[in-house]
Amino acid sequence: MSDYQTHEHDVLVIGAGGAGLRAAIEAAKDGQSVGLVCKSLLGKAHTVMAEGGMAAAMANVDDRDGWETHFADTMRGGQYVNNWRMAELHAQEAPARVRELEAWGAVFDRTKDGRILQRNFGGHRYPRLAHVGDRTGLEMIRTLQDHGIPQGIDVYMEHTVVDLLKDGDRVSGAFGYDREKGRFRVFKAKAIVLATGGIGRAYKVTSNSWEYTGDGHALAYDAGAELTDMAYVQFHPTGMVWPPSVAGILVTEGVRGEGGILKNNEGRRFMFDDVPDLYKHQTASDPEEGWRYVTGDKSACRPPELLTRDHVARCIVREVKEGRGSPHGGVFLDIAWIREKLSDSEAHIKKKLPSMYHQFKELAGIDITKEPMEVGPTVHYVMGGIFVDGDSQMSTVPGLFAAGECAAGLHGANRLGGNSLSDLVVFGKRAGEYAAKYARENGDVRVDEAEVEAAAAAALAPFDRDGESPYAVQGDLKEMMQELVGIVRRQDELEQAVERLQELKVRAAKTKCDVNREYNPGWHTALDLKNLLVVSEAIARSAEVRKESRGGHFRDDYPAKDEKFGKVRHVITKGADGSMQLEERALPAIPEPLKKIIEENQKA
Amino acid sequence: MTTKATFRIWRGTKEGGEFQDFPTEVTEGMVVLDAVHKVQAEQAGDLACRWNCKAGKCGSCSAEVNGMPKLMCMTRLSDLDLSKPVTIEPVQTFPVIRDLVTDVSWNYEVKKRIKPFKPRKPDFEDGTWRMHQEDVDRVQEYRKCIECYLCQDVCHVLRDHKKHDEFIGPRFFTYVAALEMHPLDTEDRVEELREANGIGYCNITKCCTVVCPEHIKITDNAIIPLKERVVDRFFDPVKILFRKLFGK
């Protein structure tokens, strides 16, 4: 018999970023007893990293905006494979969620007449992002935390969940450990909300923190839920590439929006060399016109640096592959050049891009007002995830809900900047509301002792094994994913990746760690590997069958979009024998009224 | 380009511990947190440390590097003298859990005692308010806080005098200031500032401001204005007389 403590709640929320906190608040408001489990300290979740803002059609800056346009923009950005119901609800409800944050104490930047200011961003037709300088995510998480804690939510900080428990078909709780002492915990719950974020740690170069090991994806998968759209991983074109310590950290799109240009080591502005036909009429024909655009000339077209994220990222990869990269394997992003145009360029850059100025100054020793930056693509976001019902956010397992990055659907094949923060609060609220309702309407659950025992034994296994270090396996996995399932994909490489994953699974099952349960990152890494391997395999397999290029998924051997694949999604489930199953399903048709909205916006 | 450096890292638990030397190869551009991770991966798999964003935005990796409270992710090795061992130890104001990880739960408890945000009624029927940028600039400065608690670590009232029961520390004065000066807030926290929060203990040595990685002017912009509110309320002779005469 293992030793463990049991905590009982009506609703258990796993993950305390924007989505988890918002879900917990909503469930607590319903009068349910709520437990909130998070791997880090409260308030440190990855949401703090979000810079740009949260998209909501409040029409404070441009009164032509409305939910219909936001909906159409989101669908276009997602290449029309989004869950249309989620895109609709998101566009309709985001403004109320922003106003609610203000009522809870958030202090957004203001318009001249004292309302919430909104800024422009890629793919959004009108200025739509409510923001606080370039630290909007911090504002959101702190507001939710400070509003939520007094509601009587029980927070289990620095606790990791390693398994979900079930009572028949329903979820009945979660099994995990506290990081401090390594003591086991059982959280018994009538409903569970997964809000665990993304999968970036499966890759070598990522803007994501250590927490992003695909926990929610893997927990849901093991519990029998469906994952969907896992091929769609967003590579942000501009991450830092040097120094190594900061490789992957985001360089905001705002640099290019302010006139930053991309150059290769020959000094050539290579983005002009490859403009997709579809965008030719909307793209500047020469550098002069590009400059006029970024300085507000409405008759000019945007410079090619502001083409979609997926395209810019691929052009950078091409330059590097063909030997025209910067010394540390990226390309040059130059904002300093605007001194040719502006006499006060230094002050201008510092005022418009304060955090980028400091980030490069402090971490790379580079003054961006004087020298170019080195940048390259970085794994940023996963559009795929746990398949949920658009209204309730319930997965295919009764009582198991998901919200935020770990849930799939809203963003389709490619996410627009600014749509993730609004996603967190719109669907965090919905998940909390429906989880509370589920807990209210369904009876008590039983926790199966045998299931707990098995989970405990598995969690302790790394102490008794005699294999290699979990850090070594994690390192090899990241290298492999970066190389074979990266930004440009090919049939033979994807097949090779699936094979290599089988070898890595064998190695991971043998990893050992120091015998010490107290705050032992070696042990934690050994346990996280299981989740990373599940999501890596799901991505590789989904990418392998999607023989087309769409949004975040680009195939060198199938570089065009294929209409046939635009009508399907790929579903990943765990088979009875424990092996990963993949199935193709038809996407539901978009209802006529919404189709009309899309068409009208395409015309305009 | 690699060079050798030695990291003298404190290892232990609340029962005690000691510094251990880890000679490590370092490359250009590394920060202290990278060195700790390298030691973890190569020499001490169970070395405990907290971190998240690695970009100075989450405030998890606070420690004392060569005796100075720092975020390890923002401290570049090139700014340190690598000819001598670099000491890395946990923050001193809070009890150690293991190695570089300390028990900061006291901070979460303190925050629970502070009266939460209470807005005035919305200005318009649609539930919205109007606020002007110049009225929120100051509050936005306080709200930049990433809760790394380096200010709590360096504050002598907590660090040396252990007044954890009577004094909330610079972080929470900044928090109270953000609430008190929020244009929409209607709550009154001045009495607690004087009594339960112990603002009088602060003798404005400004150490907190020096270590703040977000460059918040904690002493000048948060603590001193709050001290003034306390003085206005409780020590203004005209007001004292007024209260005596009219019993208010």
DSSP A409: S
**Cβ atoms within 10 Å, residue A275:** 18
pLDDT, tens digit (0-9, with 9 covering 90-100), for B226-240? 999 999 988 888 888
CA distance A32 to A10: 6
B105-238 classified as CATH 1.10.1040.10: no
Look at residue A17 in the predicted model and tell me its pLDDT.
97
| pLDDT grade for A123, boundaries at 50, 70 and 90 | confident
Tell whether A205 is covered by a domain. Answer: no
pLDDT, tens digit (0-9, with 9 covering 90-100), for A304-331? 998 878 889 989 999 999 999 999 999 9
Q: Per CATH, which fold does B2-102 belong to?
A: Ubiquitin-like (UB roll) (3.10.20)
| pLDDT grade for A359, boundaries at 50, 70 and 90 | confident
Position A113 pLDDT exceeds 60: yes
CA distance B224 to B204: 8
CATH number at residue A324: 3.90.700.10
**Cβ atoms within 10 Å, residue B112:** 9
**Cβ atoms within 10 Å, residue A214:** 30
Position B173 pLDDT exceeds 80: yes
Counting residues of chain A whose pLDDT is more than 70, the rounded percentage is: 100
> Phi and psi (nearest 5°) for A103?
-65, -20
Position A69 pLDDT exceeds 60: yes
| pLDDT grade for A1, boundaries at 50, 70 and 90 | low
Write out residues 251-310 of A within 8 Å (CB-CB) of B.
none
Query: What ipTM describes this predicted complex?
Result: 0.95
B48 and A518: CB-CB below 8 Å? yes
Q: How far off is chain B from A157, nearest CA to CA, in Å?
A: 10
Q: Of A7, A185, A256, A555, which residue is the catalytic one?
A: A256
Instruction: Determine the number of helices (DSSP H) and then strands (DSSP E) in chain A.
Output: 17, 18
Look at residue B248 in the predicted model and tell me its pLDDT.
57
Mean pLDDT (whole number) for A399-414: 97
pLDDT, tens digit (0-9, with 9 covering 90-100), for B76-96? 999 999 999 999 999 999 999
Look at residue A306 in the predicted model and tell me its pLDDT.
85
Look at residue A573 in the predicted model and tell me its pLDDT.
98
**Cβ atoms within 10 Å, residue B87:** 18
Mean pLDDT (whole number) for A97-113: 96
| pLDDT grade for A108, boundaries at 50, 70 and 90 | very high
Tell whether A546 is covered by a domain. Answer: no
Look at residue A51 in the predicted model and tell me its pLDDT.
82
Q: How far off is chain B from A70, nearest CA to CA, in Å?
A: 21
Beta partners for residue A397, in sequence order: none
B116 and A147: CB-CB below 8 Å? yes
Residue of A nearest to B133 (CA): A110
Q: Does A147 touch chain B (CB under 8 A)?
A: yes
Structure-block tokens of residue A105: 């104490």
Domain ranges of chain B: 2-102, 105-238
Instruction: Determine the number of helices (DSSP H) and then strands (DSSP E) in chain B.
Output: 10, 7
Place of tokens 């600014």: A418
Q: Are A590 and A84 in contact, with CB atoms under 8 Å apart?
A: yes
Q: How far off is chain A from B105, nearest CA to CA, in Å?
A: 9
A245 and B29: CB-CB below 8 Å? yes
B112 and A245: CB-CB below 8 Å? no
CA distance B243 to B229: 17
Residue of B nearest to A359 (CA): B55
Q: For residue B48, which residues of chain A lie inside 8 Å, CB to CB?
A: 518-521
B182 and A519: CB-CB below 8 Å? no
Tell whether A483 is covered by a domain. Answer: no
Q: For residue A513, which residues of chain B lie inside 8 Å, CB to CB?
A: 45-46
| Minimal Cβ distance to B117: which of A104, A135, A242 | A104
Position A338 pLDDT exceeds 90: yes
Q: In sequence order, what are the residues at sequence separation of 6 or more whose Cβ sits closer than 8 angstroms to the Cβ of residue A346?
A: A339, A369, A370
| Contacts across the A-B interface (CB distance below 8 Å) | 162
B48 and A521: CB-CB below 8 Å? yes
Q: Are A18 and A404 in contact, with CB atoms under 8 Å apart?
A: yes
Q: Where are the beta strands (DSSP E) in A272-412?
A: 331-334, 373-382, 385-386, 400-402
B53 and A49: CB-CB below 8 Å? yes
User: What's the domain range around A311?
Assistant: 236-377
Tell whether A368 is covered by a domain. Answer: yes
CA distance B177 to B218: 10
| Minimal Cβ distance to A99: which of B40, B52, B127 | B127
Tell whether A22 is covered by a domain. Answer: no
A249 and B55: CB-CB below 8 Å? yes
Tell whether A268 is covered by a domain. Answer: yes
Look at residue A323 in the predicted model and tell me its pLDDT.
96
Catalytic (active site) residue A97: no
More confident residue, B120 or A514: B120
Q: Are B102 and B63 in contact, with CB atoms under 8 Å apart?
A: no
| Minimal Cβ distance to A107: which of B33, B104, B140 | B140
More confident residue, A32 or A276: A32
Structure-block tokens of residue A557: 């051997």
Position A279 pLDDT exceeds 80: no
Look at residue B1 in the predicted model and tell me its pLDDT.
66
Place of tokens 């669908």: A75
| pLDDT grade for A604, boundaries at 50, 70 and 90 | low
Catalytic (active site) residue A147: no
CA distance B188 to B115: 8
Look at residue B215 in the predicted model and tell me its pLDDT.
93
Look at residue A343 in the predicted model and tell me its pLDDT.
93
Counting residues of chain A whose pLDDT is more than 90, the rounded percentage is: 83
A471 and B41: CB-CB below 8 Å? yes
Residue of B nearest to A140 (CA): B143
Q: What is the mean pLDDT of chain A?
A: 94
Position A133 pLDDT exceeds 90: no
Identify which of B66, B26, B18 has the alpha carbon closest to the alpha carbon of residue B42.
Answer: B26
Q: For residue B24, which residues of chain A lie inside 8 Å, CB to CB?
A: none
Q: For residue B57, which residues of chain A lie inside 8 Å, CB to CB?
A: 48-49, 135, 138
Tell whether A46 is covered by a domain. Answer: no
Position A496 pLDDT exceeds 70: yes
Q: Does A105 touch chain B (CB under 8 A)?
A: yes
Position A486 pLDDT exceeds 70: yes
| pLDDT grade for B14, boundaries at 50, 70 and 90 | very high
Q: Does A520 touch chain B (CB under 8 A)?
A: yes
| Minimal Cβ distance to A48: which of B57, B105, B119 | B57
Position B156 pLDDT exceeds 90: yes
Look at residue A22 in the predicted model and tell me its pLDDT.
98
Q: Of A22, A128, A131, A236, which residue is the catalytic one?
A: A236
Mean pLDDT (whole number) for B126-134: 94
pLDDT, tens digit (0-9, with 9 covering 90-100), for A515-565? 889 999 999 999 999 999 999 999 999 999 999 999 999 999 999 999 999
Mutate one of B54, B126, B176, B215 to test the A interface: name it (highest A CB count within 10 A): B54
| pLDDT grade for A459, boundaries at 50, 70 and 90 | very high
Place of tokens 């920060």: B31
B58 and A249: CB-CB below 8 Å? no
Q: Considering its fold, how many domains does chain A have in total?
A: 1
Q: Does A61 touch chain B (CB under 8 A)?
A: no
Place of tokens 């930047």: A109
Q: Does A135 touch chain B (CB under 8 A)?
A: yes
CA distance A157 to A174: 15
Write out residues 388-417 of A within 8 Å (CB-CB) of B.
none
Structure-block tokens of residue A65: 């905006």
Position B27 pLDDT exceeds 70: yes
pLDDT, tens digit (0-9, with 9 covering 90-100), for B48-70? 999 998 888 999 999 999 999 99
Look at residue A147 in the predicted model and tell me its pLDDT.
97
Q: For residue A149, which residues of chain B lie inside 8 Å, CB to CB?
A: 108, 111-112
Question: Cα A432 to the chain's mean position, in Å?
Answer: 20
Tell whether A366 is covered by a domain. Answer: yes
Place of tokens 């929020």: B182
**CA A378 vs CA A213, A237, A241: distances in Å:** 16, 7, 9
B57 and A114: CB-CB below 8 Å? no
DSSP per residue, B78-123: GGS-TTSPEEEE--SSS-EEETTEE--HHHHHHHHHSPPP-BPPPS
Query: In which element (H, E) is residue A261 found?
Result: strand A261-263
pLDDT, tens digit (0-9, with 9 covering 90-100), for B143-154? 999 999 999 999
Side-chain half-sphere CA neighbours of B247 within 13 A: 0
Q: For residue B55, which residues of chain A lie inside 8 Å, CB to CB?
A: 49, 246, 249, 359, 363
Position B121 pLDDT exceeds 70: yes
Residue A65 exposed, middle or buried by CB count within 10 Å (0-12, 13-18, 19+): buried
Peptide bond just before A95 cis, omega within 30 deg: no
- Could you tell me whether strands A580-586 and A568-574 are parallel, antiparallel, or unpaired per DSSP bridges? antiparallel
pLDDT, tens digit (0-9, with 9 covering 90-100), for A139-191? 999 999 999 999 999 999 999 999 999 999 999 999 999 999 999 999 999 99
